[in-house]
Amino acid sequence: MDKQKFAFDKTNFILLAIGMAVVILGFILMTGPSSTPTTFEPDIFSVRRIKVAPVVCLLGFVFMIYAVLRKPKTKEEVKE
């Protein structure tokens, strides 16, 4: 099968994997100790969980959108 019929090339898949890893990292940053009815963990309001992790996830999703919209180079473009 001709490679020109595929919408993605190897670079697109690598960029998608990197974006997914960044999103997963953002979700991992959101985790932390949980509060129970008897004990309250003030860590739930930390900067890491409220500000940093959502921004990391957002950047990962934007990177994945770029990876999907990136047009693979054709053989004619490579020769020029």
What are the structure tokens assigned to 70, written together? Answer: 């990136």
In the prediction, which pLDDT does 80 show? 59
Does pLDDT of 35 surpass 90?
no
Could you list the residue range(s) of the whole structural domain that residue 26 is in? Answer: 8-33+40-73
Q: Which residue has the higher pLDDT, 75 or 72?
A: 72
| 79 in a structural domain | no
Does pLDDT of 25 surpass 60?
yes
Q: Which residue, 5, 6, 9, 1, is CA-closest to 73?
A: 9
Which pTM was predicted?
Answer: 0.77
Angle of helix 53-69 relative to helix 10-30, nearest 10 degrees, comes to: 170
Domain count, the chain: 1
| 16 in a structural domain | yes
Q: Are 49 and 29 in contact (CB under 8 A)?
A: yes
